[in-house]
Amino acid sequence: MKIYLAQFNPIVGDLDGNAKKILEISLHAFKSSADLVLTPELSLWGYPPKDLLFNRSLIKKQIKS
């Protein structure tokens, strides 16, 4: 099993930008024959998300991402 460690610095609250980075990294991992891609903790939301987790529109956006 080939594991790809996706190290990048997600931006807090930038769900669209972070999702784009995750997809780009995943595509590169796929091309490298990776079986599994590991991203940082809260890579979609950025860390620490603090009160952004209470923002309903971001929650809905996360579901779509």
pLDDT band for position 63 (cuts 50, 70, 90): confident
- Residue 65 pLDDT more than 70? no
Residues 5-36 have pLDDT tens digits of 999 999 999 999 999 999 999 999 999 999 99
Angle between helices 15-31 and 56-64 (to 10 degrees): 20
User: Where exactly are the structural domains of the chain?
Assistant: 3-64
**Which residues lie below 8 Å from residue 42, measured CB to CB, with a gap of 6+?**
10, 48, 49
Q: Cis omega before residue 10 (within 30°)? A: no
